[in-house]
């Protein structure tokens, strides 16, 4: 049944995905051969409409599932019971605060940071993302600013040597680009393929960002 759900998600058959989880809510707890539950498959691969329904149907949440689902009360309760969870990677390798950032759960990210979450910890999987990379991917300026304030390294790299600045420029996010540069992002750093921030800005046609970088005298 989980494989059928996975197929529906891959083929963007939203109504079929909604139908199978509504008729069989237990599918949210079942695991595929990679140990991903139906809920996590939806969270990572499904549209918002299906995730919303899954959250409504799900009866209980683990610490990491609660972060994804925006269940701040559950997250808080889990931390009260076990403070060691704060920087403990999930089974798929992500830190709690990085998960919160990736799923745009700003309030939960704030809670985690207040409880000592390390914004600089990288994922223990091939992505190597940290919370700042995730926040940039979601173009969440408020969270990017907070993560930097809490000590996030603006020049840390994820897979393929991508920095937060490379990512922000790729998205054409002028405000986040400025924030990163203001806080020490290095415009000369190259990705694994040799791309610099300037090269990305030129290729994507972001003239305002290109001029901004040119004024910094960086090629």
Q: Domain segments of the chain: what residues?
A: 1-59, 60-140, 154-219
The chain-wide mean pLDDT, for the chain, equals 95
Contacts of 117 (CB under 8 A, 6+ apart): 86, 87, 95, 96, 97, 109, 131
Q: What is the pLDDT of residue 132?
A: 98
Give 25: exposed, middle or buried? Use CB within 10 Å, 0-12, 13-18, 19+: middle
- For 62-89, the pLDDT digits (tens) are 999 999 999 999 999 999 999 999 999 9
Mean pLDDT of 133-144: 97
pLDDT greater than 90 at residue 140: yes
Contacts of 95 (CB under 8 A, 6+ apart): 87, 88, 89, 117, 118, 121, 123, 130, 131
What is the greatest pairwise CA distance in the chain? 60
Share of the chain above pLDDT 70, in %: 99
- Beta bridge pairs of residue 37: 31
What's domain 154-219's superfamily in CATH?
Ankyrin repeat-containing domain (1.25.40.20)
Q: What is the pLDDT of residue 218?
A: 57
Q: How far, in Å, are 4, 12, 43, 145, 181 from residue 49 at the CA level? A: 18, 11, 11, 29, 36
pLDDT greater than 60 at residue 219: no
CATH number of 60-140: 1.25.40.20
Which residue in 63, 49, 137, 51 sits closest to 95, CA to CA?
63
H or E segment at 131?
helix 131-137
- Beta bridge pairs of residue 163: 157
Mean pLDDT of 40-53: 94
DSSP assignment of 133-179, as one string?
HHHHHTT-HHHHHHHHHTT--TT-B-GGG-BHHHHHHHTT-HHHHHH
- For 193-216, the pLDDT digits (tens) are 999 999 999 999 999 999 999 998
Buried b (16+ CB within 10 A) or exposed e, 141-174: bebbbbbbebebbbebbbeeebbbbbbbbbbbbe
Buried b (16+ CB within 10 A) or exposed e, 201-211: beeeebeebbe
Mean pLDDT of 31-56: 92
Share of the chain above pLDDT 90, in %: 92
Mean pLDDT of 90-106: 95
Examine domains 60-140 and 154-219 and report if their fold is the same: yes
Quote the distance between the C-alpha of residue 18 and its chain's center: 24
């Amino acid at each position: 049944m989980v494989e059928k759900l996975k197929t529906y998600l891959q083929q963007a058959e939203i109504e079929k995905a909604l139908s199978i989880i509504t008729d069989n809510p237990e599918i949210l707890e079942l695991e595929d051969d990679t140990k991903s539950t139906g809920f996590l498959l939806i969270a990572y691969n499904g549209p918002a409409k299906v995730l919303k329904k899954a959250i409504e149907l799900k009866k209980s949440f683990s610490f990491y599932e609660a972060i994804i689902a925006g269940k701040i009360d559950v997250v808080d309760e889990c931390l009260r019971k076990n403070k060691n969870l704060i920087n403990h990677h999930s089974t798929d390798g992500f830190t709690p605060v990085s998960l919160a950032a990736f799923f745009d759960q700003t309030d939960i990210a704030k809670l985690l940071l207040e409880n000592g979450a390390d914004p600089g910890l990288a994922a223990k999987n091939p992505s190597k993302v940290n919370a700042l990379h995730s926040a940039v991917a979601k173009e969440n300026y408020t969270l990017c600013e907070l993560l930097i304030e809490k000590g996030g390294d603006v020049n840390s790299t994820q897979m393929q040597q991508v920095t937060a600045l490379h990512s922000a420029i790729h998205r054409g996010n002028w405000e986040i680009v400025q924030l990163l540069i203001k806080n020490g992002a290095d415009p000369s750093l190259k990705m694994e393929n040799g791309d610099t921030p300037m090269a990305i800005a030129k290729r994507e046609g972001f003239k305002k960002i290109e001029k901004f970088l040119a004024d910094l005298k960086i090629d």
